[in-house]
Structure formats: structure tokens, C-alpha cells
Structure 1
Amino acid sequence: MAALLASALAVASGREPVLKQVDLPHNYYWRELYLPQLTTGPGSVSFMPDGETLVYSMGGSLWRQRIGEDEAVELTHAIGAYDHQPDVARGGRSVVFTRYDGNAMALWRMDLATGQSRALTRGGSVNVEPRLSPDGKRIAWVSTEGSGHFNLFLADIGDDGLRNARPLLGERRSKLDRYYYSAFDHAINPSWSPDGKSLLYVGNPEIAWGTGDIRMVQVDAPAQSRKLLSEETSWSTRPELAPDGHRILFASYHGRQTHQLWMTTVDGAAPLPLTFGTSERRNARWSPDGKRIAYIGNAGEGGNTELVVMDVVGGASRIVTPTRLRTLAPTSRMVIDVRDGAGQRVPARVSVVGSDRRAHGLRDAWMHADDGFDRATLATEAHYFHCASPCTLDVPAGVADVTVQHGFAHALWQQRVEAVAGRETPVQVALVAQPLPREFGHFVGVDLHVHMNYAGHYRNTPANLARQAQAEDLDVVENLIVNKEERIPDIAYFGTPTGDTHPRIAHAQEYHTSFWGHLGLLNLRDHYVTPDFSAYRHTAMASPWPHNGVVADLAHAQQGVVGYVHPFDTVPDPAKDPALTHQLPADVAQGKVDYIEIVGFADHKSTANVWYRLLNLGYRLPAGAGSDTMANYASLRGPVGINRVFLDTDGRLDGDAVMTTLKAGRGFVTNGPLLGLLVDGQKPGASIAARGKLPYRVSMRSPIAVDHLELVSNGEVVKRFDLAGDRMRFDVEGELDATQGGWLLLRAWNDDADPKLLDLYPYATTNPVWLEGDAPDARGDAAYFVAWLDRVIEAADARDDWNDAQEEAATLQYLREAQDKFRQRAEER
């Protein structure tokens, strides 16, 4: 089948993950929840010895500010790099910190008297969380040096830098089969005891879920590591010993939906909370006298990060706000005014790279970072923020590059701007609309898969999510509420009326089981399906029951719409894959699936490969699209709407219209190119007779250049269109031979990544137009799914953690019945 693109194409040339040297699964979690990120608000903090002055990271620089005053003094400003995680020496002479340059994270030290900085580590590893010993003679930190895993390191430190750098605990492979965490144990979050003899840290020996326990180790006797407290918090515990050497401050969600500050002791006393509420409180540090705590929160009105100082006794808190900034270099005030073709102001996604080769944003805007980039074209990953036009930001004097985008139906706007020191720099942005001709449909853009809050840096709300959607020219967002291990962020929003506002925010559900595959459960009318996962090994919910077919029935019983989300990173190979448990073909055969995310947080070409085989067998499985964006992350796979489905609802936004149109397959899915297709005057989702010559019309509009535009019928390319010029606009009419039944669709795709597109590579496809008549032989496709389900049945039968024999028997029967349906098709003559 010529149109089934080989799985080798799944890896887009050039685009690579950020910090690719880290050898850990699920980088979208540890990058956001553990590693420092560029934010316009404060990110991490350390007290000066006087207890009245703070050094903190913000906007990629280190700043010093006195509590109660409003001026922040910039201490560092690297060219093309970002500084994070300061730790001030006990005597106040220097500060160590982490610097990220797009390739690695290195430890640096700055002399606070002279302002001179020098690197402490080199070699391309990720080095984070530096902590100086109380006497200033040793430093502990976390590094991936030599392994790609997060391990605790120790070194002597002097005027000439580091000496005798070494891992403190060494590597250890767990006996457990972990899913979200590495097979190798990690040791993170170091904190010194006041006497400098011991380190607190977080480790996960023989822990399947969560980043692990609070532990303590003597630095000169590392074999004597001991557990103080069992703690499952995801990446954010960061225990900190009080100056008294007894109390331990740490962050935990501890059965709640957000991180709060808690207290235990070196004896492992039952922890009690210090803070309460619905916002996040993390990265906490003790003052030198133990009377105050400084931490990073996000309780403010905009949900951005903020620096808070709290009295330990009494709980009085004050926000340390940098109203006035004393920068190291001259700046210019840039005013960006974004307008559409009618001259009306519109919100938009904006990226500004200053003369310092760093990203800049509004003081109160959420800065976001892409999850990958092509190192041949960019020095670091792209950063961006959402601008409610007009928006004002301070940038270094000199040349700045400004990029503006407002959805897919407007051309990308880019311009180089001269920012003059001490002056205002106006940037007038006139967007050029390039919509599809209306005869192809009256579309609404829908992202079927967004997570409004997922334990990230920022605190999101439906109102702010709507603003994000408006900036991306998105009409409907499905907020899929889902567990993150022990908690379910956003669960309080489930059942909240959504109305028909524009944009429309709907609260739905993602069902998590990494054994069977994840499901999107949209339009649930009655209740959230719990527990919202199964097959979680080494937990009380380890049983693979309920399987996805049962969950689909539960959702359909309350008028839900069921889809498979982010399906395949590679084309499944039943003969070669080490494991194959994905339940998609069984559920399609049993009539349980209403859509599949063809464009999503997976490989679009690999997913389309499987989809085509199902279409060949006559399963009218509609294409959906969802970004799987964690919309409150600073580092995310996104932004909201980067993957979306355009549904021909005649402009209606109400849930009934959206769900009905989605299930009918009336529309197209894309991460950029807009596609229009008419066959014999009919749009995708329609059925027409295969009767020889069929007239067609094709249209494409795209904000980025497209390499390939093709008509595909029954898995074969039947027409390739020659794209010329900027390859962003195309219209054609013609006739097509259609002597066989089956299906026909239009797709656009590129071989490689495009730096202007924050996804693997450009890809779009319409839903099929169905051709009535005798379809080609699809016995090979049926045999493929028979072999696939052989592997699924084998894996399910091998599980030893079913709750009872009835669960296992019912599951195996369901799978075998589905397999029989494919076997009958494979044996047809």
C-alpha cells in the first residue's frame, strides 16, 4: 500500500527533544515538574545571610531584592542563556546557580562583590539543584553525568572551582517495572544538614509510582542512607532542613489536588500542613534564623508564579513584587499592536527574541516553551506568550525578532525590529487572513484534548483557558480531566455548565490506562468515570479490568462520545514489537469507538497508517485531533490548539452540533494546513456512488510551506498535486477515476520538521468521502489485526494481577470475539 508511509518517516528530520541527553521516559513530566523553566515571574529563591534580602531567578536572570522594597537588581544576564536555582553561600560572598544554554544545564558561580561569573561544570550534562555546604567547602547537586539519569553528586569547591566531583550514591536498577519513571533509581532534591555532615534528598528505590521518599545520607558514609518519610509527590518535594536541624519543610499534594507546604522531622514524624488552598506552593527555603519561609506560589489573580515570604509562627505572608527593575543593560519598551484584516485588535501568540538572543515576554504573561527544536536552525527551543493586543514588554536595546500567529487561517507575521534604548518601540502587526473558501464548509476549530491544569508552573482557570484559545483562534476546547497518579486536577470543574460562549470550554475526561491505550470521554452527561485508570502495576488497582470496551459502554450509557487519544508513535508490528497491548482494533470491531486522534501527541503518519487499514475494512472511524497540551505548563507540547479538528457545524458551537459533526466525520484535522475537498459536490463524511469519472475540487491554505498534497483512495495515492511558489496556497479542479468502492481523502504533509510549526512536522487530512461499490481486497489488513490481537490476548492472559477469574475470562472473551470478526474478513474468498 503505497500511501502507508513507512514508520521510519515517524522521526521528523532535525527536530529533537529539549535536553535529549536525559535518558528518562515521559519528558513532558520531568521537564516541567522538575527542571527549571523560563518564566516571567519568580522561579526559585534563596535567602541572603541577613534574612531580609532574597536572591531569586526571574525571566532568565538572577535578581536581588530586599523584603518590603519594590526594586529588584539584576545580578546576571547571560547572552543566549537562562539562569535559575540560586543558592547563596552562608557568608553571602557568592551564589551558585544553574545556567541553561539550549544544549545543557551547567553549574555556575558568581562573586556577589565583583559580579564576575564562571562555570563550575562542563561536558554537556544536565546539572541542577546546587546546594553549598554550610561551611562553603563542598557542593551537592543533581547531574545526569555519565548515565543520563538524575543522580546525586558531591564535590569540593574552592576559588579554582570544583575538585573531586563524584556521584554520592551510584546507579541502582530497580526490580520493579516502572512506567512513568526510569528503571534506574534517582536521587534528587539535596539539602544540607546544619552541621554539614548529612544530606536530605528524595529517592525512589523499589517505588513504582511517584518520585520517592524523603531520605537522609551521611556524605562520608553514603551506604548508610535511610528513609525518613514515605512520600509520593511528583518531582516537587524538595525537602529543606530547618536551621535547628530537626524540622523538615517540604512540598506535597498528600491526597489533595495542589502542592502545599508540609512539616515533618528527621525522626519521620507524621507530617502536618503549613499552608492550605487551591494554588501551588513549592520551592520553599528557610531563612537563616528559621523564622521565615520563602516559596514560589501561583495564587495571584493571573495564575503566574510569584514570590511569597511567610512567617513560620503566625503565618503572615507578603508577596515580594519587583515593581521597579534595575537591569544590567539598557532596555526599550516595546508595544505590540495586533490587528486583523478589518483593523480590529485580536489576541495572538507572540514570540520575541531580543538582541541578547533570549526570549522576552510581558511581566505578567505566562511564558511557554516548545518541547523540541531543530538545533541546525535554533539555538534553543521556541518561547512564546499570549498577547491581548496591545501588549507592552521591556526588551534589551538592539535588534529584536518578533513573530506573531493567530490560528491557522492567518498568515504568520514576522519582522525584525530595532529597539532603541530608553524609548518606546511600537510594533504594528497587520495580520493577513487566508481562510478556505466557504463552499468547503462553515467550520469551527476544536481541540479535543487539553489539560487545563496538570500540576504545572501556572494556575489555570476556564476564563484564562478561553483567553488562550482566543489567541490561537480556536472555537472549542475540550478540557480532559484526568488523574496524575494520586490526584485529579480540575475534578471540581467536571459538570460545570459550559454554555455556547465563544470560545466554548467543555469539561470532559481522559481515561488513563497505559496497558490498553488512553481514551477521550467527551460529552459525559451524568458523572465522572472512576476509577479513571486500570492496570496500574504495583498498586491496589493493578488489575487490567475494566478494559476499554467496558469503559466505552459506561461512557455511552451517559451519552458520551468515545475516542482513542494520542495512539501511536510508531506503526505497531505484531511480529516484532516486544509488547503489544493496545486495544484499538478490538474496540473498533466491537463498535465502541466514535473517533480517533489522527493528529495529536503521537506520530501522525504512523497513526494514519493504522487508520487506513481500518477504513479499508469498512469501519467508518472519524478523524479527531487533540493537542494533549498541559495548558498550565511553562514547557509544554503545545500550545492549545496546535492540533485541532475543523468541524463543518455551520458555525454552531453547542455541544450537540460539535459531537454530532465529529461522529459523522464532517471535517478535517490539522496542525497547520487547512484542507477543502469536494467530490461530486459532496464533502467529507458523505457517501457517493463510485461511477467512473468523479469531479473533485481541492483547496489548501497554510501558514507554513507544504511539501506534499495528495488524494488517497483505499490506502493508495491516486493523485499528487504539484505545489509551487510559497506552497501555502493551492486550488484545483479535476476528474478522478472511481471504479471501486471504499474511501477517498485529501492529505497534506511534510518530510521534515518546520521551525515555524511547534510539532513533529506539518500534517493534515480530511475525513473520507465514502465511495459506494465493491471495495478492494482488504484481507491483508484483516490478517494484520488478527495478528495484532494475538499479541494483545497473549499479554492479557499473561497478567497475574487480575482481581478474579471472571474479570480475566470476560476480557479474553471480548478480545477473541473481536479477533473472530477480523479473522472472518481475512478468510473471505
Structure 2
Amino acid sequence: MRLPAGVNLNALGELDTDDRGDQIGMDLGTVISARAVLEYSRSEWQSDIHDVQPTRSESEIIVEYSAHPDARLYMRSHDRSLLVRELRSLESPLASGRYPLEAQAIEPATKPVQFSIIEASTGLQVAARLHIHGPHGEYLPPRGHHRKVNVDVFQDISAEFANDLNQYAYVNGGCTVDLPLGSVFVEITKGFEVQPIRRIVEIDEQTDSLIFELDNVLRWREQGWVTSDTHVHFLSPQTALLEGQAEGVNVVNLLASQWGELIHNASDFDGRTTLGAKDFGGDGEFLVRVGTENRQQVLGHISLLGYHGKIIDPLCAGGADEAAIGDPLETTTAEWAERCRRQGGLVVMPHAPSPQAERAADIVLGLVDAIEVMTFNPRKWQIGPSALADWYRYLNIGYQVPLVAGSDKMDAASLLGGIRTYAYLGSREFTYQSWMGAVRGGDTFITVGPLVNMTVEGRRPGSKIQLPPGGGMVAVTWQIESVSVPPKRVEVICNGTVVDQFQYDTLACQGHTSVRISGSCWLAIRVRGSVAGRDSDIAAHTSSVFIKVGEKPIFATGDAVAILAQIEGSIAYLDTLAPKTDEHRHSRMRASLELAHHRLHNQLHQLGASHEHTPVHSVHMKREH
């Protein structure tokens, strides 16, 4: 239907309803939806462009309705007058001047077709992410899925995803879809190692089933790599398992937490079950483990993964808006981390660099196993330079903390595994425990598409290399492969600075260079490229290799002073603004922050570094604030 002059769509691309009545309606039926036509390019759909998005029409809508054949469709114009179209007239050519609403019938989606998605090498059905639309851009969901995916937080926790204007359903190898006759547009994806499918298929009365074969063109899993998302919320464990299978994510960490009076996934935590593991009836290839993200609005968040026994509580502390109103600050993130370690878990600092108040102290205390970089959806948000800069700062003072990645998925617009960790197991058997061990070992990289294998002098990320006091040359090698996000530039990073770079324009590349090392440092590989075609975005980053020259440690005074100031800020918050419980607990929490401060402060003085900082007062000293 073409919109009359003065009738405009809202920000969602739909017709509004207001207190003066519907903009659109029927006398003998119901309008289900009235949404903008989505215009796709056929040539782009059949190309190898990574992400094909439609253009939303400003002048045409698709009206879905249920009505009696004699019903009339009404639309309120800009001057509040009613425009009318008889439904029966949709079947005949438009008579000029007779029907003021310009409209025509389109083929209804009433032909049930069975979809089967199989793995080409085995012929077995596999889970995947599926998008189908008709000739006017109308989304055609499989049965059991929404016509419109709701992208608001905690509104749609079904097995669905919306990437801007494209909507998807997660299906476990097979589904039934009601289709119109004619051209239908299909997209099927399954992670970063499987060639995606985009096709135009013709549906007629004889079409009862369609089979699509997915080709696993990159085989990093067979080479000993496993993928993970360290940060997922709200889904049920079974839905998380399906989405992990469909996205090629071997380990999904589903985190219970709290937002004020909203507590979620806590009842899914039992401290022992890894869904999908062989011990619990699965095939052992895709795993879901429920952990917790324990949170405070100022001192920060901390992800506690894979621990056994009782849930580590409180889930949140310190009052609104993480904990409930009035809840006191009864623990530090350091205490949470220590409990997680005692219960056999993995401690991750999530979504660097914020909120970050206490993360500095916890890293200095050696309580953190990994730092997480987060992006909800890589089409819109790249790997954040600020997150990497925060990580570089800790590397620059000698803390070789590995990188991991998490989506922080809280809604259907966030892509589980859109940014993910690759951890190298080698020949070790894949279990959740071996995955945690691989992360602790530091042989990881994070990515939104390109896969990166790096060595320094034949040593992998997480390693340490010793050079003589005079330093020397080290050889850096890399191999990069990608299904659809090309690496545009490979940068060799030394202590946070680019020391060499190489341009590429292919999906696969390899290279090597030599770097002169004169002082203790760290090296890593950073890859630029983008899901959305922005060449300057960061698409992947490896964890670090440490190089020690003589007996000198890696230690950048400026970064140490900044981290020291951050710890001092945490102590100041604890002393002034934090909602307290009692003096004994306050003193105990303060002691852990003071220990981190003293440790880093003493290191500064031992290395002869001059600096200025705010003195850390006694908890009992009176202060004007």
C-alpha cells in the first residue's frame, strides 16, 4: 500500500496508534501489522558481501490482516479524514478516482515447506541461524517463532536475533516455514568457520521441502581450537545451547545476576552441571555452563565462571541500580574472586574498561584469570580501542592477563558469539575444565571474524621468552583465515605501539617479520577489518607473548601511576560514598584494596620511579569530605 500524503511512519517503520484513534484499521476484521516495505538488492543478495541490509521504504507499507471478504480498510489522513479501500477491490486493477487508497494484494504465505539444513561432509542435520523474506522484504519466520523480533532488553529471550532490519530464527537442523509462491530469499549462517548461504529460491505448488548444505571451509576446531562466549544473560540453558550450536560457539557461559529486584538465571545454577557435556548426556562438542556476574555499580562487575558448589552471593551489592535499593556494600570484588578460585572457577573481568574502579586492585592482587572485551553486535560496535588500551596498561606493568571476549547478550539485538574467544587446546580432550585451563594458559585470541594464529620465536601467546641483557631480534609469524570478514591490516604490537604493519585484501593471509628487542616488552598481533566494511575497525587481537631482557621487568611508570590512582579512588569511594554495613566489615574490605595499593606502590619505589599520588589515609582518620 502506498502511503497518502501526510501519513508518516514512526521510528520503527510502522503506522502509529494514538489517543485520537488508529491510523489504520478495518470494519470487519483486524489489522495485524502495518510495516514499511523492505527493499533488498537482488544483486547484493547473491554477492559475497558479508552483511546485506535492506532499505526501509518511506512511502510503501505491507499490511497484514485478518478480515471478512467484504471488509473495508481505513486510513486516517493528515487532515484526520478517512481514506477507504474495499478488500474485494484488491483483486482487480485500481480504478482511478474510485478507491483513494492505492493498494494491491500480494501473495500470502500459506504454502508449508519443510526446511532441512545439513552438514555437507556428513549429511547430518545441524543447528543454524535462518533468515527468510518474501519479494517485498516481508520476514517469513519458521513456525514457533515471532513475526517481529523484539529487540528491547529482556523482552525476547526466544531463539531469535535481529541484526538491524534483518530478522533471524535459530533452528535445530529442520523447521517448517509458511511461504508465498514465487521468489523467496534465504540466508543461513553457522559461525566463523562455515561458508554462509544466501540464495533466491522459487516456490511453487509442488515445493514441499528444501535442503541446504553447509560447508565447513575452515577447520580450526580440528586443529585444537575451541570457541567461547564468556558473557550471556537471560536465555534458558537449552536456548543458550541451541544458539551456541547454531553460531559455532563451543562454550557458552550463561551468567546469573541481578538488576535491583530482577534476579535472573539464579535457579538455573546448580554448581555442577555442564549442559551438553558427555557426563550429562550431550555429545561434548557444545557446552553451556551457568556461572554468575557479581556486580557493584562503582567498584565494578566480575564474572565468576565454572565454579562448583554453592552460588556465590550476594549476586550484587552496594545498592541501586545493580543491587536492590538500600542494600549495603558488604563485599569487594576481590572477595568474590577469592571464593570463585576456592570453588575451582575462572575469574574474568568483564566488558573492559568499565565499570572498572576495583579491577585495578584485583589484577594487582593476581586474582584475575582473564580480561574480557565485549561488543553486543559487531555490525554496530567494533572491538573497542578503549578496552584494548585498558588491557595494554596492565600488560605494560608486567601482568600477563589473557584476552577473552563476550557478547554480554541481554536482548535479541545482541549476537551470541558475535565477538568470541578462540582458545588453543592442542591435543587435549575438550571439556569445560580443559577450556578453563586453556584460558588460564593465555593462548587465546578474540575476533569478530578473522581467525589468527601467532608465534614469537615459535612460542605461542601466554608464553615467556628470555633474552640476554643486550636484547636481540625475534621472529614474529602469523596465519589468518576468514570466511567473510577480510583482514585489511595486520599490526605487530609492542607495548601497545605498532612496530610493523602489513596490508592485505584477501580472506586468507600469512606473514612474518623480525622485531628488534632492546628492553623487556610484550608482543601481540592486532587485525583491522570490519563486519560492516569499516577498514579501520579492529576485527581480531591475540593475547600476548612476554619477552624479558636480562633481569629488567616490564614496567611502564606512567601506567603504574594511573593504576595506582585508580586503586586510591576505590579506597576513597569505600571510605566516603559506599553504603556501609559495620566497621569490622568495612575495615576488612579496605584491607584488600590497601594490600594492592602497597604492592604496586612498593614496586614503584623499588624500581626508583618518582611519582605523585594521593596519600591513603587510615580508615579512622577524619577527613573534611
User: What is the TM-score normalised by the length of structure 1?
Assistant: 0.55
SS in 2 for 1:537: coil
Match of 1:661 among 438, 444, 460: 438
Q: Say whether the 8 Å CA contact 2:297–2:320 is kept in structure 1.
A: no
Distance 1:723 1:590, change over 3 A: same
Displacement after TM superposition at 1:544 (Å)? 2.4
Cα distance per residue 1:107-144 (max 9 Å; x no partner): x999966342436899xxxxxxxxxxxxxxxxxxxxxx
Match of 2:185 among 394, 401, 418: 401
Instruction: Map 1:98-497 to 2 at 5 A.
Output: 114-118=71-75, 329=108, 332-333=111-112, 335-345=114-124, 346-365=126-145, 380-420=164-204, 423-424=207-208, 426=210, 428-436=212-220, 442-453=224-235, 460=236, 462-495=237-270, 496-497=272-273
Distance 1:467 1:76, change over 3 A: closer
SS in 2 for 1:482: strand
Distance 1:451 1:437, change over 3 A: closer
Whole-angstrom distance in 1 between the partners of 2:316 and 2:65: 48
Residue 588 of structure 1 corresponds to 363
Q: Say whether the 8 Å CA contact 1:370–1:382 is kept in structure 2.
A: no
Displacement after TM superposition at 1:541 (Å)? 4.6
Whole-angstrom distance in 2 between the partners of 1:686 and 1:426: 49
Residue 670 of structure 1 corresponds to 447
SS in 2 for 1:512: strand
Whole-angstrom distance in 2 between the partners of 1:76 and 1:728: 44
Displacement after TM superposition at 1:331 (Å)? 5.2
Residue 679 of structure 1 corresponds to 456
Match of 2:478 among 698, 707, 711: 698
Cα distance per residue 1:570-617 (max 9 Å; x no partner): xxxxxxxxxx86211111111221111124458632111100010011
Distance 1:581 1:792, change over 3 A: farther
SS in 2 for 1:591: coil
SS in 1 for 2:194: coil
Match of 1:803 among 581, 597, 608: 581
Residue 818 of structure 1 corresponds to 596
Distance 1:719 1:756, change over 3 A: closer
Q: Say whether the 8 Å CA contact 2:443–2:543 is kept in structure 1.
A: yes
Instruction: Map 1:2-151 to 2 at 5 A.
Output: 75-76=31-32, 78=34, 80=36, 114-118=71-75
Whole-angstrom distance in 1 between the partners of 2:25 and 2:570: 52
Distance 1:610 1:360, change over 3 A: same
Residue 626 of structure 1 corresponds to 406
Cα distance per residue 1:517-563 (max 9 Å; x no partner): 21111122110012211011385653223111121122222222211
SS in 1 for 2:123: coil
Amino acid at match of 1:114: A
Whole-angstrom distance in 1 between the partners of 2:198 and 2:417: 20
Instruction: Map 1:601-750 to 2 at 5 A.
Output: 601=376, 604-630=384-410, 633=411, 635-638=412-415, 640-650=416-426, 652-690=429-467, 692-702=472-482, 703-724=484-505, 727-750=506-529
Displacement after TM superposition at 1:674 (Å)? 1.0
Distance 1:379 1:711, change over 3 A: closer
Amino acid at match of 2:488: D
Structure 1 unaligned blocks of 5 or more:
1-18, 23-34, 37-60, 66-72, 83-100, 123-157, 162-325, 373-377, 454-459, 570-579
Match of 1:535 among 318, 327, 345: 318
SS in 1 for 2:296: coil
Cα distance per residue 1:722-775 (max 9 Å; x no partner): 112xx321122343333432211112233x661899xx9662211112212245
Displacement after TM superposition at 1:487 (Å)? 4.7
Displacement after TM superposition at 1:565 (Å)? 1.2
Residue 542 of structure 2 corresponds to 766
Amino acid at match of 2:227: G
Whole-angstrom distance in 2 between the partners of 1:519 and 1:813: 19
Amino acid at match of 2:195: A
Whole-angstrom distance in 1 between the partners of 2:457 and 2:604: 32
Displacement after TM superposition at 1:428 (Å)? 3.3
Distance 1:551 1:415, change over 3 A: same
Displacement after TM superposition at 1:348 (Å)? 1.3
Displacement after TM superposition at 1:668 (Å)? 1.5
Displacement after TM superposition at 1:386 (Å)? 1.6
Cα distance per residue 1:440-469 (max 9 Å; x no partner): x5111122222253xxxxxx3x34432222
Displacement after TM superposition at 1:712 (Å)? 1.1
Q: Say whether the 8 Å CA contact 1:369–1:383 is kept in structure 2.
A: no
Displacement after TM superposition at 1:642 (Å)? 2.0
Q: Does 1:788 align with 2:571?
A: no
Residue 526 of structure 1 corresponds to 309
SS in 2 for 1:789: helix
Q: Say whether the 8 Å CA contact 2:27–2:71 is kept in structure 1.
A: no
Q: Say whether the 8 Å CA contact 2:564–2:600 is kept in structure 1.
A: yes
Displacement after TM superposition at 1:437 (Å)? 9.6
Amino acid at match of 1:708: R
Displacement after TM superposition at 1:75 (Å)? 4.4
Q: Say whether the 8 Å CA contact 1:595–1:622 is kept in structure 2.
A: yes
Distance 1:383 1:761, change over 3 A: farther
Whole-angstrom distance in 1 between the partners of 2:574 and 2:34: 53
Q: Across the two proteins, how many residue pairs are aligned to each other?
A: 517
Q: Does 1:550 align with 2:335?
A: yes
Amino acid at match of 2:251: V
Amino acid at match of 1:798: T
CA RMSD of aligned residues (A): 4.1
Whole-angstrom distance in 2 between the partners of 1:369 and 1:755: 26
Amino acid at match of 1:704: V
Residue 597 of structure 1 corresponds to 372
Q: Say whether the 8 Å CA contact 2:548–2:554 is kept in structure 1.
A: no
Distance 1:423 1:481, change over 3 A: same
Distance 1:102 1:581, change over 3 A: farther
Displacement after TM superposition at 1:782 (Å)? 0.8
User: What is the TM-score normalised by the length of structure 2?
Assistant: 0.72
Distance 1:427 1:448, change over 3 A: same
Residue 50 of structure 2 corresponds to none
Structure (1 or 2) with the greater helix fraction: 2
SS in 2 for 1:549: helix
Amino acid at match of 2:546: W
Whole-angstrom distance in 2 between the partners of 1:63 and 1:393: 28
Whole-angstrom distance in 2 between the partners of 1:608 and 1:809: 33
SS in 1 for 2:36: coil
Whole-angstrom distance in 2 between the partners of 1:20 and 1:605: 34
Whole-angstrom distance in 2 between the partners of 1:491 and 1:485: 14
Distance 1:696 1:605, change over 3 A: same
Distance 1:396 1:74, change over 3 A: farther
Amino acid at match of 1:493: D
